[in-house]
Amino acid sequence: MTEAAIELHDVTVRLGGRTILENLNLVIPAGKVTAVMGPSGAGKTTVLRLVTGQIRPDSGEVRVGDTQVEKLDGKALNRFRREIGVLLQNGALFTDLTCFDNVALPLREHTDLPETLIRRLVLLKLQMVGLRGAAELYPRELSGGMNRRVATARAMALDPSIMLFDEPFAGLDPISLGVSLRLIRDINHALGITSIVITHDVDEVSELADQCAIIADRQAVATGTPSELTDSDNPLVRQFMQGLPDGPVPFHYPAQDLADDLLAMEKRR
């Protein structure tokens, strides 16, 4: 059985008076690509924020390796975060820095390496994402997909053992999407790291992920390989995997009956 890299046990998170996750249990295997999927607003990004220690659970335990994340703060949390690379939804590159300086930033901040060595490392990271030639360009001079690739290189700068990708395929054209898919796959296989991909792109997930987890109704309602989830009998999983407009997740926002609404309008006139 594969060793677990990340474990969430009975995690409950309440934000702004709303329960986002309730008694969530999730195990992410080491060295694999795991896709965390689910409808919008289901709490996928909350899982990412729990793993990075950006938020703490109201109850339960978040364990990354031997580290209990919710108990970390200050310097210990910073040390822990150096082991994790995160690609945020829009890349979040610093617009006043070139691509080179963006990737060099964590190396300059956290290591005492000489500038010549930092230069070599940065160029290697940019080569890995196919953008060595864009080293001196600013993020505004690149497309959205290229920005995310540079951000991936930056997230990989300190050679993390875990990579988290938040919606890496959102808004990408088919070519950029294909490049991103291959990149995540190659990084995972070449470096043997653990990857979590937060997404709701079902087609891409079936190509990329070794394991999937679907978050809905504040819990992980299903886990398994992409093909297992596609064949699932669970109505919620089936609705999500097949992209059905109506089902356990309703198409309509809760409202009173349409006829009552229209009649009420007539009466007001």
Partner 1 sequence: MTPESPGTRLFDRPLRELGRAFLFLLTAISRMRFTRLQLAETLRQVYFAGVRSLVIIVTCGFFVGLVLTLQTYDTLTRFGAGDAVSTVLALSLFRELGPVLTALLFAGRAGTSITAEIGLMRATEQLDALDLMAIDPMERIVQPRLIAGMIAVPALVLIFNVTAIVGGVFFAVFLMGNDPVTFWSNMQASVELGRDFFGGMVKAVAFGFLAAWLAVWFGWSARPTSEGVALATTQTVIATAITVLILDFVLSAFML
Q: Which of 21-29, 107-115, 121-129, 213-221 is the region at the interface with partner 1 (rule: CB under 8 A)? A: 107-115
Q: What's the one-letter identity of residue 185? A: R
* Minimum distance of partner 1 from residue 78's CB (angstroms): 4
Cα–Cα distances in angstroms (integers) from residue 238 to residues 83, 139, 142, 247, in the given order: 36, 39, 38, 9
Q: Does 27 participate in binding partner 1 (rule CB under 8 A)?
A: no
Q: Does 86 participate in binding partner 1 (rule CB under 8 A)?
A: yes
* Minimum distance of partner 1 from residue 110's CB (angstroms): 7
CB 237 within 8 A of CB 243: no
Place of tokens 């901040």: 109
Of 108, 132, 185, 238, the one binding partner 1 by CB under 8 A:
108
CB 223 within 8 A of CB 237: no
Of 63, 81, 119, 132, the one binding partner 1 by CB under 8 A:
81
Of 8, 33, 34, 52, the one binding partner 1 by CB under 8 A:
52
Burial (Cβ within 10 Å: 0-12, 13-18, ≥19) of residue 202: middle
* Minimum distance of partner 1 from residue 226's CB (angstroms): 28
Burial (Cβ within 10 Å: 0-12, 13-18, ≥19) of residue 223: middle
Contact residues: partner 1, CB under 8 A: 52, 54, 77-79, 81-82, 84, 86, 88-90, 92-95, 105-106, 108-110, 151, 154
